[in-house]
Amino acid sequence: MRPSSIKLLNSAAGKRPVKVLFVCLGNICRSPAAEGVLRTIVEENGTEAGWKIDSAGTGNYHIGDLPDQRMRVHARRRGLELTHRCRQVVSSDFDDFDIIIGMDSQNIANLRYAAPTPEAEAKIMPMGELLPESSGYDYVPDPYYEGSEGFELVLDLLQEGCQRLYDIIEGHSNL
Ligand code: 4NP
């Protein structure tokens, strides 16, 4: 993990609630799924009071929509109900959240461009840094033009990455 991400996670670990925003392009596949995965982990551990979790997109194509039907079906099979309504990243997100996690390098580039200050930019980190090397991925691939296996892959990666994030912030895992 990059030193900048270690610093970010260490500083966020002391905050309650810790406020996490997941970001992808459309905010209908990867980031609402990440939001649902992390929220379920937090609820299963009875730690809801310590977390604020949301998601947003860098694009504006689907504002107000529920997550993609295919993502909702695949998530439901794992016991996750995705009810987020799509919204676009706004400048105030950089004040309202402690950690802003982008799913791929394009999301990260767009977030960096949108960050209003260096302090805001320091809140951005790639989801890929939370993925185990054994996954073979250092980003979460866009499933929009893929088949079922693309959605399953995204959920597998998010379950691993969100568990790692949870364990780091709750102090169960060292950086
Ligand atoms: P997401 O997937 O970024 O994971 O939500 C996409 C959803 C929609 C589009 C692209 C990616 N789109 O071009 O409409």
What digits encode the pLDDT tens for the residues 74-124?
Answer: 999 999 999 999 999 999 999 999 999 999 999 999 999 999 999 999 999
Q: Measuring CA to CA, which residue among 144, 166, 169 is closest to residue 24? A: 144
Note if the pTM is more than 0.95: yes
Nearest CA to ligand 1 atom 10: 26
**Is residue 24 flagged as an active site residue?**
yes
Q: Is 107 in the pocket of ligand 1 (CB under 6 A)?
A: no
**Is residue 2 flagged as an active site residue?**
no
Ligand 1 centroid from CA 31, angstroms: 10
Nearest CA to ligand 1 atom 13: 26
Which is catalytic among the residues 54, 93, 104, 142?
A: 142
pLDDT at 174: 84
Per-residue b or e along 30-53, where b marks 16 or more CB atoms closer than 10 Å to that residue's CB: bbbbbbbbbbbbbeeeebeeebbb
Structure token digits, residue 100: 């802003």
- Is residue 41 pLDDT above 90, yes or no? yes
Q: Is 142 in the pocket of ligand 1 (CB under 6 A)?
A: yes
What digits encode the pLDDT tens for the residues 115-143?
Answer: 999 999 999 999 999 999 999 999 999 99
